[in-house]
Structure 1
């Protein structure tokens, strides 16, 4: 299963759409906040994909939750924007929370800086900002394991 991970579009609908449409084999799109209006518009054009979207600190009128926990291909995924965990000052708080939730894959945004890591059995990804840095992420869950990649538009 391929998952497209995007965050922080900040009204750059064109880049968001380009990233998602470039990954036609992806079954799921995860949006880590700050641009929910962009994602809501995109969702209308891609009704065949599962969309998971959380609220960011700039999504003032959004009714979405600040975090979501989902299971795909028997992997527990924790999705959040990251601002409530102080990610601009470091990742220890969000990583600790994800471990407490027994997370296999942690996805977050907010910093606009792309990041991938592996920590004690957990894959971690911040795709950066599709609006500002033009980066997004791919998570592939296969029978052989999990792979994460950052892609530049």
Structure 2
């Protein structure tokens, strides 16, 4: 199963659409915040996709939850924007939150810096930002052979 992971689109409908079109095998799109309005428009344009989302620090007045959990192919994913966990100052708090939830995958945004890592049973990914000239997104593949996280630069 492939999951498209995006964050911080900040009103850039075009880049969100391009990322979705670039990953036709992705059944699920997880938006990690700061882009609720364009997310809602994308949901209407791609009704065949499942969309999951959390609110970011720039999604003022949003009714989206601050955190989410999703289980795909038996793998528990914890996702959030990251600002509530101080990710610009470090990962300790957010990693502890993921481990408390017994997640195998941690997804977060907010920093606009793409990042992927694996540490003691926890896969971590920040897809970066879909806004700007160096826009990036992430893919998360969950297969019987294992889990793969990948950062993709939007062409």
State the alpha-carbon separation in 1 of the partners of residues 32 and 48 from structure 2: 20
The answer on 1:134 being equivalent to 2:135 is: yes
Q: RMSD across aligned C-alpha pairs, in angstroms? A: 0.7
Q: Can you list the C-alpha shifts for 1:79-118, whole angstroms capped at 9, x where unaligned?
A: 1000000000011110111011101110110000000010
1:62, distance to aligned residue in structure 2 (A): 1.2
The match for 1:97 is: 97
| Residue 119 of structure 1, CA deviation | 1.4
Taking the TM superposition and a 5 Å limit, the aligned residue runs for 1:11-30 are 11-30=11-30
SS of the residue 2:103 aligns to: coil
Matches within 5 A, 1:64-103: 64-103=64-103
User: How many angstroms apart in 1 are the aligned matches of 2:9 and 2:110?
Assistant: 11
Paired residues, number: 153
**What TM-score do the two structures reach when normalised by structure 1?**
0.98
Q: 5+ residue gaps in structure 1? A: none
Q: Within 5 A, what are the aligned runs for 1:39-54?
A: 39-54=39-54
Aligned counterpart, 2:4: 4
Q: Distance in 2 between matches of 1:150 and 1:104?
A: 18
TM norm structure 2: 0.97
SS in 1 for 2:19: helix
State the 1:126 CA deviation. Answer: 0.2
Q: How far apart in 2 are the matches of 1:35 and 1:26? A: 19
Q: Which residue of 1 aligns with 2:32?
A: 32
